[in-house]
Amino acid sequence: MHFLTNNSYFCQMEMTDLFKEILSVDSTSGMERGFAELMESVLRRESGLGGASGRMPLIRRHEVGDGTQNLLCTWGCRENEMPKVCLCTHLDTVPPYIPPAFSEISAGAVLPDGKTAETDDILITGRGSCDAKGQIVSMMTACLELAESGFEGSFGLLLLAGEETGSYGAKAWTRDCPGGDWIIVGEPTDNRMVSASKGTKSFRITMRGKACHSGYPHLGHSAVLDFNEFVNTLKNRELPIDPVLGETTWNIGCLSAGNPQNILCPELSFRLYFRTTATSDDIVSALPQEWAETFPGIEVEAFGGDTPMKYDVLPGYDTAPVSFGSDTPRLTGFTHRAMCGPGSIFVAHTDREYVLMSELRKAVEQYKRMISSIIAL
């Protein structure tokens, strides 16, 4: 087989070995600290292998406050100074941990999502392969190759904890640390720059009935009936279609009733999660008032969320809007916020998660070009 070749410090085999090392560590949310410590040692080790032409980085740890930590590695900066451009992604993954596997495949091979490989390649599966350790290895490789080449300019790599459980690392960074000029957040976007992303709105809803013997339902009222009516109301509630982000979507989870089958349900609670657009975000925020008028006694607790967001894009790259969330909206200290990374969101969080080595190498080259073009601005 013939794979991509590269004359830079990280050849194909070295990048593969590095990715194996990163994927072999379980960094499920809550367990990121050990992985952050590994990444610090890897960055120090690989920077030291770059030769005399390479620049050694400054590495800073930042305590999130929940036992996890963020990690910032910069080149061309003084102590406590932020770089001109910062690549950024998250340390944690969703459960369960799935060990990695690396396979050489031929053009035409069927991939885990049913697509076919366009060329000979290396297929990498396992938790974090595309969300977001594929971003980590490609961003780190891009930074190390630039440093090894003697590239002039300040750039860095910011690794954040807790993205999958509420962006706690990003919130803590914005609270405690300086921002900067440019930040490019890595998520699985098929190596396209994100033009816009949907917002989120989350609610906990409780509906109450009256318990009674199921043989005599006229003596009570089941909260399940109100829930069914509520869902039908949601289905029929028209929301504007955004010209960029499309339709607003919603999902119900954490459904809990607890009554036995022979007692009418006295209480039912659930979580309702919206993916909003620029044209629907304010409307969705006001929906609890509509629900209160339609369903007397309903209890609604709003948890807020992110507003829909437009991103900075650079010329010369494919772009697309996305419907998923990320740390980006929380990183408000940066003047310019962009998002781009290898892999597909459609296999993230599944047992079919994968990325191709060709996607990672493309990401490396794109990240280097992005840094170079931003430094030149």
Average pLDDT over residues 150-159: 95
Percent of the chain with pLDDT over 70: 95
The residues with which 72 forms a beta bridge, in sequence order, are 60, 158
Please give the model's pTM, rounded to 2 decimal places.
0.90
Q: Any idea which of 20-24, 54-58, 82-86, 371-375 has the lowest mean pLDDT?
A: 54-58
Model confidence pLDDT, tens digit, residues 281-311: 999 999 999 999 999 889 999 998 899 999 9
Per-residue pLDDT at 347: 98
Q: How far apart are CA 349 and CA 128, in angstroms?
A: 8
Rounded Cα distance between 219 and 216, Å, is 6
In this predicted structure, what is the pLDDT of residue 3?
30
SS3 121: strand
Separation CA 182–CA 376 (nearest Å)? 13
Q: Is the pLDDT of residue 217 over 60?
A: yes
What residues are paired with 88 via a beta bridge?
158, 185
Run of H or E including 209: none
Q: Which residues contact 44 (CB under 8 A, 6 or more apart)?
A: 59
In angstroms, the first-to-last Cα distance of the chain is 40
Q: What is the chain's Cα-based Rg?
A: 24
Cα 205 to Cα 268: distance, rounded to the nearest angstrom: 8
How would residue 14 be classed by pLDDT, with cut points 50, 70 and 90? confident
pLDDT of residue 112: 98
Domain boundaries, the chain: 12-197+308-375, 199-302
CATH number of 12-197+308-375: 3.40.630.10
DSSP string, 238-306: --PPBTTTB--EEEEEEEE----TTB--SEEEEEEEEEE-TTTHHHHHTHHHHHHHHSTT-EEEE---P
Q: Do domains 12-197+308-375 and 199-302 have the same CATH topology?
A: no
pLDDT at 54: 53
User: Is residue 162 packed enough to be buried (19+ CB in 10 Å), middle (13-18) or exposed (0-12)?
Assistant: buried
Specify the pLDDT at position 13: 67
Whether omega for the bond prior to residue 132 falls within 30 degrees of 0, making it cis, is: yes
Distance, CA of 116 to CA of 108 (rounded, Å): 5
Residue 133's SS3 state is: helix
Q: Is the pLDDT of residue 53 over 60?
A: no
Q: How many CB atoms lie within 10 A of CB 294?
A: 12
Residue 293: both structure tokens together: 């008028």
Bridge-based pairing of strands 155-160 and 85-90 is: parallel
Residue 11 banded pLDDT, cuts 50, 70, 90: low
Mean pLDDT of 263-269: 98
Report d(CA 358, CA 16) in Å as an integer: 11
Residue 154 identity (one-letter amino acid): S
Amino acid at 6: N
The pLDDT-based confidence of 117 (bands split at 50, 70, 90) is very high
User: Please, is 5 exposed, middle or buried when counting C-beta atoms within 10 Å of its C-beta (0-12, 13-18, 19+)?
Assistant: exposed
Average pLDDT, stretch 342-358?
Answer: 98
Q: Which CATH number fits domain 199-302: 3.40.630.30, 3.40.640.10, 3.30.70.360, 3.40.50.300?
A: 3.30.70.360
Give me the sign of the Cα torsion angle 31, 34, 35, 40. positive
HSE-up (13 A, CA, CB side) for residue 270: 18
